[in-house]
Amino acid sequence: MAKRARNGSASGKRRDFIRTVEAKLPTRYGNFRAIAYEDAVEGRDHLAIIKGDVRGREDVLVRVHSECLTGDALGSLRCDCGEQLRKSMRAIEKKGRGIILYLRQEGRGIGLLNKVRAYHMQDQGIDTVAANVLLGFEPDERSYDGAAYILSDLGVKSIVLLTNNPDKVVQLKALGVKVKGREPLRVKGNRVNSRYLSTKKRKMGHILDDD
């Protein structure tokens, strides 16, 4: 039976999140279970991919991963998203306990169509941050309200976050998530995404493998 709850964000807005269904999720990286959640306000579905028993646990290894169809599914070399997702799954499998929160907010929250528009601009020499701004968006439109709710619903007491993005730590803490630490995801760049990674470091404060 679906479970409805409300979650407050740092901005004071409220959203309805609905826990819908759970199923086993065997993968090439190990055996997980998946719990689907619906954001009834935004009409998006999110997924918690869970390894082991996390309820009541502290310092649970967590990756909060925003959807990237091109990187996650198609193997695009323009970003490091797919590599970070796969590395997170391997790390959690090795640990024996952890969570990947797969949030449906493509293109740092601007959606797939606008993401491709941003790619077109990048092909003309505009960087990823400037492209979002020229399209009328903030450099990063993502929200982590859903992540905060799901972690609470799963009964996690505190987390260690798998991320290269310190701002993600700040935002989750502002939403009431107890973040006890951060573990980097060391992913080497390639000839295609070197400028993209450099822009994330310079303009968005990401901590990359050469720091």
Q: How far is residue 49's CA from residue 31's CA, in Å, rounded to a whole number?
A: 10
Residue 145 among the catalytic residues: no
Q: Does residue 29 carry a pLDDT above 90? A: yes
Strands lying side by side in the sheet with 98-103? 3-8, 14-27, 30-39, 44-51, 98-103, 60-66, 159-162, 179-183
Q: How far is residue 87's CA from residue 45's CA, in Å, rounded to a whole number?
A: 23
Q: How far is residue 13's CA from residue 67's CA, in Å, rounded to a whole number?
A: 23
Core vs surface per residue 79-100: b (16+ CB within 10 A) or e: bbbbbbbbbbbebbbeeeebbb
Q: Between these two residues, 113 and 1, which has the higher pLDDT value?
A: 113
HEC string for 137-165 = CCCCCCCCHHHHHHHHHCCCCCEEEECCC
Q: Residue 146 phi/psi, 5° resolution?
A: -65, -40
pLDDT tens-place string over residues 72-90: 999 999 999 999 999 999 9
Do residues 132 and 138 lie in contact, with contact meaning Cβ atoms separated by under 8 Å? yes
Q: How far is residue 41's CA from residue 56's CA, in Å, rounded to a whole number?
A: 28
Class of domain 3-105+142-204: alpha beta
| Structure tokens, 32 | 């997980």
| Structure tokens, 199 | 């822009």
Residue 16, pLDDT score: 87
For residue 104, give the 3-state DSSP assignment: coil
Mean pLDDT (the chain) is 88
| Options 72, 80, 140, 145, the catalytic residue | 140
Residue 92, pLDDT score: 98
Q: Which of 7-11, 32-36, 89-93 has the lowest mean pLDDT?
A: 7-11
Q: In whole angstroms, how far apart are CA 96 and each of 22, 27, 90, 91? A: 19, 14, 10, 9
| Options 117, 142, 145, 167, the catalytic residue | 142
pLDDT band at 186 (very low <50, low <70, confident <90, very high): confident
pLDDT band at 204 (very low <50, low <70, confident <90, very high): low
Q: Does residue 137 carry a pLDDT above 60? A: yes
pLDDT tens-place string over residues 90-113: 999 999 999 999 999 999 999 999
Tell me what the mean pLDDT of segment 131-141 comes to. 92
Tell me what the mean pLDDT of segment 166-192 comes to. 91
Ranges of each domain in the chain: 3-105+142-204
Residue 142 among the catalytic residues: yes
Which residue type, as a one-letter code, is found at position 85? L
**Tokens 């573990």 -> residue:** 183
- Local structure of residue 77 (DSSP, 8 states): S
Tell me what the mean pLDDT of segment 174-199 comes to. 86
The reported pTM is: 0.88
Residue 189, pLDDT score: 80
Q: How far is residue 197's CA from residue 189's CA, in Å, rounded to a whole number?
A: 7
